Structure 1
Amino acid sequence: MAFAQSPRFARRLDARLDEAADRLGFLDEATAVQTIDHFALQHRLADGSTVVERFVEQRRPPLLEDERAMLLGWRDVVEGVFEVRSRDRGAVVLHNLLDDLVYRTYSNMGLSAPAKLREGMFVVARIVPVHPGTGAWLISGNLTAYPRGDGPELAQVAAQTLAVNPQLLLRNPEMLRRAWEMQAEARADFVELFGTDLLVLEPREAQIQLREYYRHRQEKALAELDDEAAARARNGGPSLDELSSLPEELLDTETVAVIYDLDEGICYYANFGDLDALFAEPALARDRIHLAQLREYLNDDSVSPMVIRRLVQRHPENADTVFRALLRKPAFTWERDGEELLRRRKKSHYRHKPLPSVTPVGARLAELLRGERRHSR
């Protein structure tokens, strides 16, 4: 920690602390500790390395191989909302509501820290492996404890965190498998209802169709529940209007593509209709507006390569003509050069494998979301 807070990193660490203070409007001790801990173990410096990696490389005398493995293992941070399962010989057994896994966890503050935790309590914490060769974990940074009565509220936080961070599923292969199955089923329902996985509609019509889709999904789910569970389901979760609502920036566009992709899940793209018309009638490539829209799709990192491929797949005979006009390369052919173009313009999309957009929850998190409490064992 002294190395992370040394003058060589001061400017970058101060910037991270300022960002944290701006988000909250103030900087309390717990936030400062968490920010410094993240900076030391996970923040990427200009050369792509982390502070802990720099420490391991620059340490003199050099660390032993086993010590290097231990410190580098600390990059494997688990952030979670944990329920206390038990205490056992100086360790506290924590069940992470996010990835539905159990972690045997220790504290470097001695036995007093875990001794304050009781079965059924909750903690929000960051943990790291004590050493990659063990199944033991270590509390890293700040730990915030909550009474068992806060479980339902913390469950909402956990569910929201999962929804925006599907990469958390990577720790649990079973949950990841379930997520892919759920996404495939949801897509199959979309295709069954509309006869296709791609709709090009005016924004208001898109919301109407999405509402119909989510109503169909809800009715299907409720039919599989008993009366009591169905009543609870109707009273909880987002409404049909909330589910079918498009992002505000899409409401003023002429057309919206609603795509339920097998890998990327359901997604929305503005002005797709204009680009579809361009590929259907390549003579429109003489129109600067149409080419500018395609150039924006190609250069915008938030636009997936999948969307460009979809345009080509819908009109494969015209792809070469359109891209030759856009790139001013008469010899360009999509079959030979298309994938290289996408990899060059959309590098970030090729760095990681796709993750499902549907996130399942574990049995205990589902119980807490329903407001149920676990009785003491």
Structure 2
Amino acid sequence: MDIDATLDLVERLKRAAVDYALSPGFAKRLEETRGRLGLHADSVENTVEAVESLLFEGSADKEPLLARYIRTNKALDPADRAVYEGWLGRNVFGAFRVEEQNGPELLLHNLIDEMDYRTHATAGVDASHPVPSGGYATVRVVPTHNVWTISGNVHFFKPQEREFVEEYAINLLRQFPRMPFRNPDKLERARDMVGEQHRIFMETLGTPVVLGSGSEAIEAYRSFMEAVDADAAARAPQQQRTPRSGLELAPDGNFPAELRDARDVALFHHPVKSTSFLVGYREAREAHRTPPATAADPAAVRLREYIHDESVPLHVIEDFASQFPDTVDQAYRIAFSLPEFVWERDGGALLLEHKATHVEDADIPDITTVPTSLRGAYLRLAQGA
């Protein structure tokens, strides 16, 4: 399919999705989205902004509307469905530096994943007015076949507004720390880094799971961070920097009072997913070892909390199940009132239901990597916090 035919396809499919979002059945959700985004003025630009958010981002308790459109529209042509699924799964919203412009065609460099996107504007999207090379843009781009097209509003910024755009990019990165991992090289480097840190954790603490009180887990974490810092210093002796203490690397303000004061805490380090603090770990583990008598028992309550709590990583639950294969079925039968439950058969579906994001991102490190070009903005924001 040539570029003109692709752009025609994009325009047709986007118009259908927008018409769906603007239909009367979603008027309330659209107004809620306007309010959440602070788009109170009644303008075309604000409507576009709200529709884009509704289609691609959804809300805390509702899926993106584009996902609903794909799921419920049984008459969709399979080829059109594939394009929509690509938009939903691979759309890129971010802050970009404008490298080149040729009318409505823009070469954009993403400040977060540090990849280039050659984008095209379709009818109804104004990207054709002159933009100085070295200027910036915030925009969403979507893939169709091998073409990236602009979706929604484009906000342009002058080169002298660089600091503002960089700080905007850092705030995006804080909200969505996996953004850099669209770049396969960054993903591979992150995996290598976490794997190396896992080696240091094991050498420093002797076990992947350190048990104790909250304060003891924090002190163990500080020992680990000191070892990581010392290893980094040894790898770059030319920098001649002073080693930092664990308290400097992980000050008290990093830890909530409920963690510091808890009696049952585990510090868990995983070779891909990095570090987790887990309150109630021993109780949850014991529930797998010795199944509770009833669903109301505290151990059963704790087990359910671990399944429902988004902060408890998938690999922790899987580790419990592998430790206690003879009792895991009974533990879940009681805790969830599922008399026929078998972990080997039903565990995956249970985890997918309650930890879908964890399942999808099982091989992606749970760390934030800041591009070198944004470290100045990161430090400015951290110092101003």
Task: Tell which has more relative contact order, 1 or 2 (C-alpha 8 A, sep 6+).
Answer: 1
Tell me if the contact between 1:152 and 1:369 (Cα under 8 Å) persists in the aligned partners: no
Structure 1 partner of 2:146: 134
Structure 2, unaligned runs of 5 or more: 1-17, 381-385
Cα distance, 1:359–1:109 mapped onto 2, change above 3 Å: same
CA deviation vs aligned residue, 1:337-360 (integer Å, no higher than 9, x gap) = 224443343324355141211243
**Distance between the aligned counterparts of 2:333 and 2:141, measured in 1?**
52
- Match among 270, 276, 285 for residue 261 of structure 1: 270
Tell me if the contact between 1:42 and 1:50 (Cα under 8 Å) persists in the aligned partners: no
Structure 2 partner of 1:306: 315
Tell me if the contact between 1:263 and 1:356 (Cα under 8 Å) persists in the aligned partners: yes
- Match among 333, 343, 362 for residue 348 of structure 2: 343
TM-superposed CA distance for 1:183, in Å, is 1.5
**Distance between the aligned counterparts of 1:141 and 1:283, measured in 2?**
53
Is 1:352 the counterpart of 2:360 in the alignment? yes
CA deviation vs aligned residue, 1:244-294 (integer Å, no higher than 9, x gap) = 8334443342221111123432112111133445566x4986993334323
**Distance between the aligned counterparts of 1:31 and 1:218, measured in 2?**
47
- Match among 237, 255, 258 for residue 246 of structure 1: 255
- Match among 179, 197, 204 for residue 215 of structure 2: 204
TM-superposed CA distance for 1:83, in Å, is 1.1
**Distance between the aligned counterparts of 2:377 and 2:240, measured in 1?**
14
**Distance between the aligned counterparts of 2:134 and 2:274, measured in 1?**
36
Alignment of 1:209-288 (within 5 A): 209-225=220-236, 227=238, 240-242=249-251, 245-276=254-285, 282=290, 288=297
Structure 1, unaligned runs of 5 or more: 372-377
Secondary structure of the residue that 2:145 maps to in structure 1?
Answer: coil
Cα distance, 1:247–1:148 mapped onto 2, change above 3 Å: farther
Alignment of 1:1-377 (within 5 A): 1-21=18-38, 32-41=47-56, 43=58, 50=67, 53=70, 74-75=87-88, 76-88=90-102, 90-108=104-122, 113-129=127-143, 132-135=144-147, 137-225=148-236, 227=238, 240-242=249-251, 245-276=254-285, 282=290, 288-300=297-309, 302-314=311-323, 319=328, 326=335, 337-346=342-351, 347-350=353-356, 352-354=360-362, 355-362=364-371, 364-365=373-374
- Write the letter of the residue equivalent to 2:355: H
Tell me if the contact between 2:307 and 2:354 (Cα under 8 Å) persists in the aligned partners: no
**Distance between the aligned counterparts of 2:218 and 2:91, measured in 1?**
39
Secondary structure of the residue that 1:99 maps to in structure 2?
Answer: coil
Secondary structure of the residue that 1:303 maps to in structure 2?
Answer: coil
Structure 2 partner of 1:374: none
TM-score, normalising length: structure 2: 0.72
**Distance between the aligned counterparts of 1:361 and 1:8, measured in 2?**
41
Structure 1 partner of 2:6: none
CA deviation vs aligned residue, 1:193-235 (integer Å, no higher than 9, x gap) = 101111112111222221222222223223333656959x98x
Deviates more, 1:300-309 or 1:77-86: 300-309
Secondary structure of the residue that 1:181 maps to in structure 2?
Answer: helix
Cα distance, 1:153–1:42 mapped onto 2, change above 3 Å: closer
- Write the letter of the residue equivalent to 2:360: H
Tell me if the contact between 2:125 and 2:151 (Cα under 8 Å) persists in the aligned partners: no
Aligned residues: 352
Cα distance, 1:49–1:80 mapped onto 2, change above 3 Å: closer
**Distance between the aligned counterparts of 2:167 and 2:92, measured in 1?**
19
Cα distance, 1:260–1:14 mapped onto 2, change above 3 Å: same
**Distance between the aligned counterparts of 2:28 and 2:238, measured in 1?**
59
Cα distance, 1:188–1:153 mapped onto 2, change above 3 Å: farther
**Distance between the aligned counterparts of 1:274 and 1:111, measured in 2?**
56
- Write the letter of the residue equivalent to 1:34: E
**Distance between the aligned counterparts of 2:298 and 2:346, measured in 1?**
21
Tell me if the contact between 2:141 and 2:151 (Cα under 8 Å) persists in the aligned partners: yes
- Write the letter of the residue equivalent to 2:179: L
- Write the letter of the residue equivalent to 1:345: L
CA deviation vs aligned residue, 1:12-60 (integer Å, no higher than 9, x gap) = 3223223333xx8x5686665322123245649789864764898779x
